[in-house]
Structure 1
């Protein structure tokens, strides 16, 4: 807190006059940081440092950490609306009367969301336990995706050996393609997704290796997030 000059007997009026601008300044800084983080994470992914976000926002690193003590908290604030859209996509897919179209439409929508925002591509392939609201959205979307799988299998369109873990693997693969191709081949991901959707369709054209265990896949997602969750001094991850 910055010391304030007060006239005797005027403490109440002075506090009222000075506190509100401080709240307004804090809110402006918070909004500026979130807007800057959208730009930086969307361009560079979640590996971008908090210092680079602070520079983009035009605030000091101390101000950054006052508003967002951890990177996970910043990530949660930046991607809250996108995670809401992610959940909404599952609801819209379940509302489609044709199970296969709902299933494939959802996959295409989510992969397109990854392509539109490199930072969000990272979010979808990481587990961020410190971002509770974000993880709650992920869990809700996951449960709805299980329903999409069941419907598509019941209709005979989805091969029986498909599991929810196959979506995680696809999102990881898509994130890798997006990172590698960048601006040079911006639509390359579409071919990958189209190939994968065709491979998901029944009848199966051959046996597959067993999918990774849930615990192993979670650890992979958690490990991917460790670099962005650790405290920073402004020099990178």
Structure 2
């Protein structure tokens, strides 16, 4: 009987399995680190947390953005699905409120996700595309509620983003003592968005360029 000929790819399979396990360990450690410390969490500490070399981390994730996107891709997909479900709700006001509740709930307990949606990283095409998609969903939910006369017409996407910034600060201050306090503040603002409550505002909304520059400044 002729000897069994091993497939040329066979010796690589254990190495590929090890590499996949290492990738998953890095993602799990990074998820915890980013949630606690934000997007600037130490990559060296993430590598130490899984007892692997920083060079191994960089082989899997050549840049911090690569690691961020790997960590937050599931949450971003959840956000997209939630935003699309809100657009399908019969009541535009209820859909708008559900959308904001979901967005702000995802911020709670996850400083990294808060950073990612609050900041812009102009050098990264991946995050720029991600932000454009998120803003289109914000715009769609907002405009739908405005067309039905539920949300005051002078509210803009920039007002939603500035509310995201404010919520991030509230979470930072209260997460250890009153972890659900953000919901009170969110619903106070939602009431302020209602069309019947409208009063003239003393300042215009941020322009698109001003908003973008502010988000880039936050990432600097």
Q: With structure 2 as the length reference, what TM-score do the two structures score?
A: 0.89
Moved over 6 A (4+): none
Q: Note closer, same or farther for the CA distance 1:85–1:210 as it changes in structure 2 (3 Å cut).
A: same
State the distance in 1 between where 2:203 and 2:217 align: 23
Does 1:69 pair with 2:69?
Answer: no
Q: What residue in structure 1 maps to residue 117 of structure 2? A: 124
Does 1:96 pair with 2:100?
Answer: no
Q: How does 1:125-144 map to 2 (within 5 A)?
A: 125-129=118-122, 132-144=125-137
State the distance in 1 between where 2:217 and 2:6 align: 52
Q: What residue in structure 2 maps to residue 59 of structure 1? A: 52
Of structures 1 and 2, the one scoring higher in RCO (CA 8 A, sep 6+) is 1
State the distance in 1 between where 2:26 and 2:150 align: 46
Q: Aligned to 1:153, which of 146, 154, 157? A: 146
Q: With structure 1 as the length reference, what TM-score do the two structures score?
A: 0.83
Q: Note closer, same or farther for the CA distance 1:16–1:156 as it changes in structure 2 (3 Å cut).
A: closer
Does 1:223 pair with 2:217?
Answer: yes
**How many correspondences in the alignment?**
215
- Do 1:100 and 1:158's aligned partners in 2 also have CA atoms closer than 8 Å? yes
Q: What residue in structure 2 maps to residue 212 of structure 1? A: 206
Q: What are the ranges of 5 or more consecutive residues in structure 1 without an aligned counterpart? A: 1-11, 227-237
Q: What are the ranges of 5 or more consecutive residues in structure 2 without an aligned counterpart? A: none
The secondary structure found in structure 1 opposite 2:118 is coil
- RMSD over aligned CA atoms reads 2.0
State the distance in 2 between where 1:222 and 1:95 align: 33
Q: What residue in structure 1 maps to residue 18 of structure 2? A: 25
